[in-house]
Amino acid sequence: MTKDIAIIGGSAAGFFTAYLLAHQGLHVRLYEAEEAIDPSPRTLIVTSHMANFTGSLCESAVVNEIHCFQLFVEGRSVTIPLRRPEMVIERSILIKELKAQAEASGAKVLTGRRFLSVAPNGRSLIFTVSANGYAEVVEESANVLVGADGALSKVAQSAGWPKQSTVPLFQAIVKLPKDMPPDTTRVWFVPEDTPYFYWLIPHSPTQGVLGLIGEGERQSQRCLEDFLERKGLEPMEFQDAQVSRYTRWIPNHRKIGEAHVYLVGDAAAHVKVSTVGGTVTGFRGALGVADAVLNGGPSREFMALRRELDLHLLIRKALNRFRRADYARLLDMISPSTKSLFSVFTRDESLKLLLRVFLRRPRLLLLGLRTLLNGRTPS
């Protein structure tokens, strides 16, 4: 039977999935609720690992390269040079480029089509979308349905998946401080404000985004505004989003009748919860979906992705218990040899990185384990 693929959601993961499947000659349609593909701007940072999955597809979205990280806590700082620079991405450019690549490969993009529901129909499935300014309901059919419609996925809801946990992201465009090189990202650990961190990522020689992931919208926005004031930075524009938070692996494949439904990207919570970064892991999930659809079975990419996400979850559980003193102790433990490991291995190679770090600095492992197991600040 010829596979007919319907993808819901014009996200980066959705368009990359469309590209991968259309590139293999499958009939692919992507449905986007908005009337035009005009995503809101948002600055992202990704590791060099992204090129392993996308090749040169996304080069036009790269607006800056990061060659150094500076970490701050309690008056301490550590500078980590990167042998493989990280890439600063403009999300709106990324999505438009992936759309163009998907269409060039034969995928059909249908805008102004809001997904409503799905039901079995023998060896295929029927799904409904609104059209003509949402005044008309249209029935469509497909053998495979892919939900790439974000953290609050309607596809996931209709197909019976549990609701995803989400966290708010807030960031402000600011002028870079005079003492900050444009190829350096700064990170501050302030656990009383957020269990994650603040970041300042340059996206041009003169400007960058300062932001945080929080636990609640109002509190996070207030913390960001206070932090900007403390740093003497004036916001020129704000960006915000609701981001999926990975809490456990949920199989992202289900059958409705004899047809198949997959989730990808934020809809599947394919997000590294240590940093709440989901671009590279979303692309890995797209590769897994494409592999499963093309080969008709479980994908090894999903198994590798699950191991990676579970490891980041373990790291996050430990970091959620850290106080300022713990972060200060952590920075004190970063020796020159440990820095060299952080320079070589990226956040998307966490298992390789942590094994080598713990072999060189076992006290780092003890710090994390004591915090994780005891639920209190380690001595």
Could you give the CA distance from residue 345 to residue 84 in angstroms, rounded to a whole number?
9
Pick the CATH number of 4-41+92-163+246-313 from 3.50.50.60, 3.40.50.300, 3.20.20.140, 3.40.50.1820: 3.50.50.60
Q: Residue-wise over 72-105: b if at least 16 C-beta within 10 A, else e? A: bbeebebebebeebbbbbbbbbbbbbbbbbbbeb
Give pLDDT, residue 97.
95
Q: Is the CB of residue 331 less than 8 Å from the CB of residue 70? A: no
Q: Is the CB of residue 155 less than 8 Å from the CB of residue 147? A: yes
Q: Is the CB of residue 48 less than 8 Å from the CB of residue 24? A: no
Could you give the CA distance from residue 92 to residue 37 in angstroms, rounded to a whole number?
9
Q: Is the CB of residue 272 less than 8 Å from the CB of residue 313? A: no
Give pLDDT, residue 332.
83
Neighbours of 362 (CB within 10 A): 10
Q: Which CATH architecture has domain 63-88+166-244?
A: 2-Layer Sandwich (3.30)
Give pLDDT, residue 360.
57
DSSP state of 348: G
Domain range annotation of the chain: 4-41+92-163+246-313, 63-88+166-244, 314-374
Could you give the CA distance from residue 37 to residue 290 in angstroms, rounded to a whole number?
23
Give pLDDT, residue 372.
46
Give pLDDT, residue 377.
43
Paired tokens of 151:
């953290």
Give pLDDT, residue 376.
45
Could you give the CA distance from residue 363 to residue 108 in angstroms, rounded to a whole number?
54
Note if the pTM is more than 0.75. yes
Q: Is the CB of residue 116 less than 8 Å from the CB of residue 129? A: yes
DSSP state of 265: G
Closest CA to 119 of 261, 249, 302, 228: 261
Give pLDDT, residue 29.
98
Could you give the CA distance from residue 316 to residue 194 in angstroms, rounded to a whole number?
12
CATH fold match for the domains 4-41+92-163+246-313 and 63-88+166-244: no
**Cβ neighbours of residue 214 closer than 8 Å, sequence gap 6 or more:** 167, 168, 170, 193, 194, 196, 220, 221, 223
Paired tokens of 69:
């990280």
Could you give the CA distance from residue 267 to residue 254 in angstroms, rounded to a whole number?
14
Closest CA to 223 of 215, 64, 330, 236: 215
Residues of the chain scoring pLDDT < 50: 1, 372-373, 376-379
